[in-house]
Amino acid sequence: MEQQKKITIADVADALGVSRTTVSRAISGKGRIGKETRARVMEYIEAHDYKPNVIAKSLAQSKTYNICVVMPGEYDVIDLHFFQECLFGIQEIAGAMEYDLLLAICKNNDVSSLDRVISNQKVDGTILMRTFVEDAQVEYLQSKKTPFVAIGSSNYQGVVQVDHNHRSACRELTSILLMKQMKKIALIGGDEGHVVNQSRIMGFREAYEAVGAQVDEDLLYLNLENNVMVDKKVDEIIEKGADCILCLDDAVCSRVLRKLREKEINVPEQIRVASFYNSTVLENNVPSITSLNFGAKEIGMVACQTLLDMIEGKEVSPRTLLPYQVVLKESTAWNG
Amino acid sequence: MEQQKKITIADVADALGVSRTTVSRAISGKGRIGKETRARVMEYIEAHDYKPNVIAKSLAQSKTYNICVVMPGEYDVIDLHFFQECLFGIQEIAGAMEYDLLLAICKNNDVSSLDRVISNQKVDGTILMRTFVEDAQVEYLQSKKTPFVAIGSSNYQGVVQVDHNHRSACRELTSILLMKQMKKIALIGGDEGHVVNQSRIMGFREAYEAVGAQVDEDLLYLNLENNVMVDKKVDEIIEKGADCILCLDDAVCSRVLRKLREKEINVPEQIRVASFYNSTVLENNVPSITSLNFGAKEIGMVACQTLLDMIEGKEVSPRTLLPYQVVLKESTAWNG
DNA sequence: CTGAAAGCGCTTACAG
DNA sequence: CTGAAAGCGCTTACAG
């Protein structure tokens, strides 16, 4: 496999009888340059398909035109589709600005993959696709003083973040359920260590406060680590006679629905179900599931734009909250 | 955000009173160098946390230490989990060899994102995570004479490829169904344009040939473009009295199961169901679904290793086929 | 075994 | 408006 010999800035300068400086300026648009000269250069470049060597440019400018995207490295990631769409959003904006995406994978707060990328100075900035309460990635990036933005909320000082307004969304969904006269709502879900789960739980509690009601702490099933736990808790929830199961996320929701089907308990006739998220996991479910709607691609786009602004030294808002929709479907139809 | 001033090779050379050449050699291990000198350099480097600037190294060596991974860009990608695991496999091998991953997204054979990366010479090679019968990516990469390997099979000449043995796997699964005395097996699925689907269909047909039976062409439902089509075809399949539905992939299978549930047709009592793939999509299904088992992470690792070998000029085998397992579950339990 | 020097392909003060 | 020259931080023949 022989690569075709690439033409360099010197080649085009020679061919046109101008200096490399001039060619460089014609391309970058920086510095004074004659209209006509510029036109000649551009024409030649076009005709001969000259592309500046980005590596050389990087070295000269100490800029890579790469950004690092940190993906979760667990296999059982709750909503892969979210990360995918989000990645597409990031890529769309990055691509438009001639930036490329370098991937780092962060599993259980292990930053070694991220460290390689950053220490090797391969990127101009980083996007974290997920945050933790105790966040090794954030701590690492802050110690390196390299620009980054987090998708999702972070409790750390000075982290530029863009998130969906999970708290409001969950508050609103919960309020609606309460308004629909559900009396015993069980909340079920996984790791409270995820900041997003904290926000969701907060919204859930606020909805109760707003109507002056008490959350039944006995119906809170959090930090469930696996499907077996979920199954067991569903049994308990049914025994306690809850009239609605609210799921912190769709992985849990999917399992809950499976368990209910196994127990031959009908939704929504015998119990209502809703989820604080809407992934494709539940897409084909019968009945359709009441949930929230967030734009994953949109959040990626906003995060990327924010990072690029930071890289270019612009002011950015420290926290951006994106809107949501509450989508009521069959699973919470109340006929009580 | 001020980056910490990075220490360069010149700094360590000065500090140690040696030349930059020597330092470079100590690090790379290339060229003769005194043991003791080398030790001194390494010690200093360690102590002062010196990391060579990869960009400069790239420029000097015309090598980037990046590889490009091309992901599918459709939102309704059949098995996201496959691509994720596969990506993890690639990353694991790449990381171990100090390579990073640059992402390109290829939607409907649009190679513009890939073109940016390649034209800008940002990578040393490329991994295609998916192939097509008419493959713009392959054509593009071949025209650029840049090393690449395809995950999945390709009909193009000279494409280095690593794939699971879908054909054998599907042949075997089909054989077993035939042995289990299923007489009317319907095959349902999407785009025949995917090479993988062609292999699957081929395996399916071979199983029939092996027992001297005829494929019932009336029971082949291919190129279904959306869920509505799938639903309609399931109706037809039932009317025709098929005793088993074999799905080309899990997206289709998931929809088929949904439709059967809606029609209140029990699996496996009234009809058997199996899939030519096993994604997490079907994980929670009741009954559990007979399907094939492929190692997604493994294929990523092998593909990456193959590419790295190519980059380093080693001979690689033009086609690697990875093994599979047939996993029989409840959905094909035969009690006829 | 070690070093001075040229080179990778750009950018960017500085001078004109 | 344009160019000569230095510089980005490495590597690598070549010479010693």
pLDDT tens track for A299-311: 999 999 999 999 9
Residue A17 — very low, low, confident or very high, per pLDDT cuts 50/70/90? Answer: confident
Instruction: Name residues whose C-beta falls within 8 Å of residue B8's C-beta, 6 or more positions apart in sequence.
Output: B53
CATH topology of domain A9-61: 434 Repressor (Amino-terminal Domain) (1.10.260)
* Same fold? A66-164+296-325, A166-293+326-332: yes
How far is A299 from chain B, CA to nearest CA, in Å?
Answer: 16
Q: Answer whether A16's CB lies under 8 Å from A23's CB.
A: yes
**Cα distance from A152 to chain B (closest Cα, Å)?**
21
Fold exhibited by the domain A166-293+326-332:
Rossmann fold (3.40.50)
Q: Which residue is nearest to nucleotide C3 (CA to C1')?
A: B19
Say what the pLDDT of residue A1 is.
Answer: 38
- Residue A4, CB, strand C, below 7 Å: no
To test the contact with chain B by mutation, choose from A84, A130, A280, A289 the residue with the greatest count of B C-beta atoms within 10 A, namely A84
Is B119 in CB contact (< 8 Å) with chain A?
yes
B17 burial type by CB count under 10 A (0-12 exposed, 13-18 middle, 19+ buried): exposed
Helix (H, G, I), strand (E, B) or coil at A70: strand
Is pLDDT of A59 > 50? yes
* CA–C1' A60–C12 (A): 9
- Return the pLDDT at A77: 65
> What would the DSSP string read from start to end of A240-286?
TT-SEEEESSHHHHHHHHHHHHHTT--TTTT-EEEES---GGGTT-S
pLDDT at A3: 44
Residues of A in contact with B4 (CB under 8 A): 144-145
The per-residue pLDDT for B2 is 43
Strand D nucleotides where any atom sits below 7 Å of a protein CB: 1-5, 7-14
> Which positions on strand C lie below 7 Å from a protein C-beta?
1-5, 7-14
CA distances to A3, A102, A119, B136 from B143, in Å: 10, 25, 35, 10
Residue A13 has pLDDT above 80, yes or no: yes
> Given pLDDT bands bounded at 50, 70 and 90, which one contains residue A5?
low
Q: Where are the domains of chain A?
A: 9-61, 66-164+296-325, 166-293+326-332
A101 close to B (CB below 8 A) = yes
pLDDT of residue A2: 43
Among A54, A227, A264, A280, most B C-beta atoms within 10 A, so best to mutate, is A54
Segment 59-88 of chain A within 8 Å of chain B by CB: 59, 64, 66, 69, 73, 75, 77, 80-81, 84-85, 87-88
Handedness of CA B97, B101, B106, B112 (dihedral sign): negative
Asked if the Cβ of residue B121 lies within 7 A of any atom of strand C, the reply is no
- Average pLDDT over every residue of B275-279: 84
> Which class in CATH covers the domain with range B66-164+296-325?
alpha beta
Are residues A87 and B103, on separate chains, in Cβ contact within 8 Å? yes
Q: How many helices (H) and strands (E) does chain B have?
A: 12, 12
Query: Does the pLDDT of residue B157 top 90, yes or no?
Result: yes
CB contact under 8 A, A116 and B122: no
Q: What is the pLDDT of residue B76?
A: 67
A 254-313 residues inside an 8 A Cβ radius of B: 254-255, 258, 261-262, 284-286, 310
CA A238 to chain centre: 34
Residue in A102, A271, A78 with CA at minimum distance from that of residue A189? A78
Spatial distance from the CA of B61 to the C1' of C11 (Å) = 20
Query: Closest protein residue to C11 using CA and C1' atoms?
Result: A60
Band of residue A95 on the pLDDT scale cut at 50, 70, 90: very high
**Per-residue pLDDT averaged across B208-236, rounded?**
95
In the 8-state DSSP scheme, what is residue B59? Answer: H
Which of B75, B95, B284 is closest, CB to CB, to A255? B284
Kindly state the tokens that stand for A214: 């008490």
CB pairs under 8 A between A and B: 127
